[in-house]
Amino acid sequence: MAGYGKWVGGAIGWALGGYIGGILGYQVGKFFSSGVQIGERNQGGTRSGDFAMSLVVLSAAVMNADGKVLISELNFVKKFLKMNFGEVQADQLILLLKEALKQEVDVRGVADQIRMNMDHPKRMLLLQYLYGIANADGHVDKRELELIRLIARHLGISLKDVASIEEPYNSGTLNPYKVLEITETATDSEVKKAYRKLAIKFHPDKIGDLGEGPRKLAKERFLQVQGAYEQIKKSRGFK
């Protein structure tokens, strides 16, 4: 349980203060009061445990957004957690999730707390994960979409970044220009500049050592940006 202790133990930092602490503080103490080590901070200054607690609380909010918790959503979250923590440890986080699902989450307060304590690349990764939950059944409900956009605003994520992250979850053909946060009137030079900017912004190395699951999400996002650029290059015929 040493690896898990690094994540969850780290949550005895800013994540157990304020709104997140009000939701999960007692349960974290109940489950992990025996000998858990405090998680180390990664390069971005965020404890891995803080990121995990943020996942749990905002997962609950999105899952409850349409008034019903779907098995597909729960399976999506379970799969993500097991990828990072293994079977036993992920089961403990699922218990915390079930407690959070029983409560009304103040998403504004939680997102504001996260914005003040988590760097931008990890906040964008967190938003991407929430879209994944909403799309777990193959359809993003309007209420889920509105809630995620509200969370994004309080996370301090720009409208362009939101549109770029959201685009892969929209129905129909993926618009490569929206992914690159530009319009179809952009010059070839502007396309290249937008790609370089986003390739740096969404590079997996930006999230630090948060575990296999977050790194996989970051890589997926990086490949979406790369794929959009290649698609535009091919259609325009430039190198």
Provide the percentage of residues in the chain whose pLDDT is more than 90: 20
Residue 169: is its pLDDT beyond 80? no
Cβ(6)–Cβ(48) below 8 Å? yes
CA distance 76 to 135: 9
228/9: higher pLDDT: 228
Domains identified in the chain and CATH numbers: 2-236 (1.10.3680.10)
Residue 49: its pLDDT value, please? Answer: 64
Q: Which of 79-83, 128-132, 194-198, 200-204 has the lowest mean pLDDT?
A: 200-204
The type of residue at 118 is M
Residue 198: its pLDDT value, please? Answer: 83
CA distance 204 to 124: 12
* DSSP 8-state symbol, 168: G
The type of residue at 123 is R
Contacts of 12 (CB under 8 A, 6+ apart): 28, 36, 38, 49
CA distance 23 to 207: 25
Binned at pLDDT 50, 70 and 90, residue 48 comes out as: low
The mean of the pLDDT values for the chain is: 78
Q: Give the residue-averaged pLDDT of 68-76.
A: 93
Residue 223: its pLDDT value, please? Answer: 83
Q: Which two tokens stand for residue 203?
A: 């590079």
Residue 7: is its pLDDT beyond 70? no
Q: Give the residue-averaged pLDDT of 7-31.
A: 62
Q: Which two tokens stand for residue 35?
A: 């000998």
3-class DSSP state for residue 160? helix
Tell me: the pLDDT tens digits for 171-211?
556 788 888 888 888 899 998 998 898 888 777 777 665 66
63/224: higher pLDDT: 63
Provide the percentage of residues in the chain whose pLDDT is more than 70: 77
Rounded to 5 degrees, φ, ψ at 109 are -65, -45
Binned at pLDDT 50, 70 and 90, residue 151 comes out as: very high
Cβ(103)–Cβ(20) below 8 Å? no
Cβ(179)–Cβ(49) below 8 Å? no
129/10: higher pLDDT: 129
85/193: higher pLDDT: 193
Cβ(113)–Cβ(14) below 8 Å? yes
CA distance 114 to 67: 25
CA distance 177 to 198: 12
